[in-house]
Amino acid sequence: MAEEGQTIVSVVPDDEGRGKFKKCDEVAFYRRQMRGPSVEYTALLDTLMLTEKGALFEILESETQVRLLLSVSPCETGTVRVLIDELKPIKPRYRVPDVLTGEPQSAWLKVERQSKASVTLTWSSGRHQVRVWSFPFRLEILCEEEVIITFNSKGRLWFETLQEPPRGGSGRDSKEDHSGLWKETFRQFVDLKANGPSSVGADLCLHGFSHVYGLPEHADNLLLRDTGEGEPYRLYNLDVFAYDLYSGRGLYGSVPLLVAHKPDRTVGVFWLNASETFVNVHYSPHDQQDERAPPVKRRRVPPQTDVHWLSESGMIDCTVLLGPTPLQLFTQYAQLTGYQALPPLFALGYHQCRWNYDDEADVKAVDAGFDRHLIPYDVIWLDIEHTNGKRYFTWDPACFPDPLGLQRHLERRKRKLVVISDPHIKVDPKWSLYREAIDGGHFVKDREGKMYQGLCWPGESCYLDYSSPVTRAWYSRHFALDKFGGSTPSLFVWNDMNEPSVFGGPEQTMPKDAVHSGGWEHRDLHNLYGFYQHMSTAEGLITRSGGSERPFVLSRSFFAGSQRLGAVWTGDNVATWEYLKISIPMLLSLSVAGIAFCGADVGGFVQDPEPELLVRWYQAGALQPFFRGHSAKGTKRREPWLFGEEVTAAIRTVIQQRYCLLPYWYTVFHQAHTSGLPPLRPLWVEFPAEQSTFTVDNQYMIGGALLACPVTDPGVEEIRVLLPGSGEIWYDVHSAKMYKGGCTLSFPVTLDTVPVFQRGGTVVPRTQGCGSCTAELHLFPLDLTVALDSDGVAAGELYLDDGHSFDYRDRKAFCLRRFSMLSGRLLCRSASEEGEFDSDCVVQSVSILGIKSKPASVTVHVPGNVDVPSSVHYEEAGLMLTVGNLSLRVATDWDIQID
Alpha carbon distances (Å) from 435 to 220, 366, 384, 429: 43, 37, 21, 6
* Selection from 226, 311, 225 nearest residue 273 by Cα: 311
One DSSP character per residue, 555-596 reads ESS--TTGGGT-EEE--S-BSSHHHHHHHHHHHHHHHHTT--
* Selection from 514, 516, 534 nearest residue 472 by Cα: 534
Report the distance separating Cα 791 and Cα 106, nearest Å: 43
Q: Is 601 a catalytic residue?
A: no
* Selection from 661, 642, 654, 650 nearest residue 750 by Cα: 650
Q: Which of 312, 360, 572, 797 is catalytic?
A: 572
Report the distance separating Cα 71 and Cα 81, nearest Å: 8
Cβ-contact 708, 699 below 8 angstroms: yes
Grouping H, G, I as helix, E, B as strand and the rest as coil, residue 60 is strand
Alpha carbon distances (Å) from 660 to 235, 282, 619, 838: 38, 45, 14, 21
Centre a 10 Å sphere on the Cβ of residue 113 and count the other Cβ atoms it contains: 11
Q: Is 496 a catalytic residue?
A: yes
Q: Is 317 a catalytic residue?
A: no
Report the distance separating Cα 361 and Cα 541, nearest Å: 27
Burial per residue of 173-191, b for 16 or more beta-carbon CB atoms within 10 angstroms, e otherwise: eeeebeebbbbbebeeeeb
Task: Tell me the residue type at 167.
Answer: R
Grouping H, G, I as helix, E, B as strand and the rest as coil, residue 683 is helix
Centre a 10 Å sphere on the Cβ of residue 402 and count the other Cβ atoms it contains: 12
Centre a 10 Å sphere on the Cβ of residue 422 and count the other Cβ atoms it contains: 24
* Selection from 261, 34, 304, 311 nearest residue 153 by Cα: 304
**Which residues does 185 contact at the CB level (< 8 Å), separation at least 6?**
191
Cis preceding-peptide flag for 136 (omega within 30 of 0): yes
Cβ-based burial of 771 (10 A; exposed 0-12, middle 13-18, buried ≥19)? middle
Q: Are strands 233-235 and 200-207 parallel, antiparallel or unpaired?
A: unpaired
Task: Provide the H-helix boundaries in 257-384.
Answer: 326-337, 360-372
Q: Which of 496, 728, 783, 801 is catalytic?
A: 496
Report the distance separating Cα 813 and Cα 675, nearest Å: 19
Q: Which of 191, 276, 499, 601 is catalytic?
A: 499
Report the distance separating Cα 110 and Cα 122, nearest Å: 6
Grouping H, G, I as helix, E, B as strand and the rest as coil, residue 435 is helix
Report the distance separating Cα 740 and Cα 763, nearest Å: 18
Cβ-contact 152, 41 below 8 angstroms: yes
* Selection from 839, 833, 797 nearest residue 818 by Cα: 797
Report the distance separating Cα 479 and Cα 783, nearest Å: 40
Question: What helix, strand, coil percent values describe the chain, rounded to 5?
Answer: 20, 30, 50
Report the distance separating Cα 38 and Cα 154, nearest Å: 10
* Selection from 123, 187, 139, 148 nearest residue 42 by Cα: 139
Cβ-contact 728, 740 below 8 angstroms: yes
Grouping H, G, I as helix, E, B as strand and the rest as coil, residue 842 is strand
Q: What is the DSSP letter of 484?
A: S
Task: Tell me the residue type at 126.
Answer: G
What residues are labeled active site? 496, 499, 572
